[in-house]
């Protein structure tokens, strides 16, 4: 198990280098496999990365793209992670990718779990997983001390779960059973507060610091 921590001189360098790394891993996988999957976070950090990645030379029609997690809001809502992807990643060359939308329009996220589990299953193990992290050490929608997190971290959890115990809107999240099997795993964090949170997470239990459940074979990409 290797944890590699890469510190970049600035965010621009991080986004350019990480774009090459993610595109390279997808292309390498596609050389010997018919299809690949790319699972990415929402949030405020990755938009410039997605802009670069959308123009990368990848055989996108053979790539399934999905989110780590989604807020249960309409696809045009400002807090929709799908909105972020449609505007920044699923355009240009990457418009040809197959997008698996975690927001189904069902009234409640739990209603969508069986259909989503079925939609996701053919794309596991994930080829390339990119995670984000909040300053509270949550990743995907696995939040510290949330009632669903213990269940979502269990090895026999279903691949997706509804999360209702967080503020704002309900969410849907991939669980550790889907996320931890990824062939290539990366974490994107930026700013001094996230670096400090990442370091704090090392000594904590995954239920208190959910990112800790993914710190096995992972490359962490950080810039101020
Ligand atoms: O909230 C989401 O939708 C996520 O997928 C989440 O896990 C995100 O990656 C972190 O909250 C970091 O978000 P920021 O980039 O906004 O700090």
Domains of the chain, start order: 3-223 (3.40.50.1360)
Choice from 18, 42, 160 to test ligand 1 binding pocket (greatest atom count within 8 A of CB) = 42
Q: With 0.90 as the threshold, say if the pTM is over it.
A: yes
Choice from 14, 44, 133 to test ligand 1 binding pocket (greatest atom count within 8 A of CB) = 133
Q: For 30, what's the count of Cα atoms within 13 Å in the CB-facing half-sphere?
A: 19
Residue 127 Cβ inside 6 Å of ligand 1? The answer reads no
| Helices within the chain (DSSP H only) | 11-32, 47-54, 81-88, 109-120, 147-153, 176-179, 192-201
Q: How do residues 117-144 score in pLDDT, each as one tens digit?
A: 999 999 999 999 999 999 999 999 999 9
Q: How do residues 53-64 score in pLDDT, each as one tens digit?
A: 999 999 999 999
- Give this complex's ipTM: 0.95
Q: Name the residue at shortest CA distance from atom 13 of ligand 1.
A: 43
């Amino acid at each position: 198990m290797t944890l590699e921590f890469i510190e970049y001189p600035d965010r621009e360098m991080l986004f350019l280098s990480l774009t090459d790394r993610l595109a390279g891993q997808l292309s390498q996988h596609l050389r010997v496999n018919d299809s690949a999957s790319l699972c990415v976070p929402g949030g405020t950090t990755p938009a410039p990365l997605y802009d670069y990645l959308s123009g990368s030379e990848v055989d996108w029609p053979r790539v399934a793209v999905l989110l780590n997690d989604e807020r249960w809001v309409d696809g045009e809502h400002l807090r929709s992670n799908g909105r972020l992807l449609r505007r920044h990643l699923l355009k240009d060359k990457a418009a040809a990718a197959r997008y698996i939308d975690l927001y189904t329009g069902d009234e409640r996220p739990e209603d969508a779990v069986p259909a989503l589990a079925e939609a996701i299953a053919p794309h596991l193990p994930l080829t390339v997983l990119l995670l984000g992290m909040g300053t509270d050490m949550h990743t995907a929608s696995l939040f510290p001390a949330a009632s669903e997190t213990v269940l979502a971290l269990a090895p026999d959890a279903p691949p997706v779960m509804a999360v209702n115990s967080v503020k704002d809107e309900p969410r849907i999240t991939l669980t550790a059973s889907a996320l931890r099997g990824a062939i290539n795993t990366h974490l994107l964090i930026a700013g001094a507060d996230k670096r400090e949170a990442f370091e704090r997470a090392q000594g904590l239990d995954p239920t208190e610091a959910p990112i800790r459940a993914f710190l096995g074979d992972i490359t962490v990409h950080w810039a101020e």
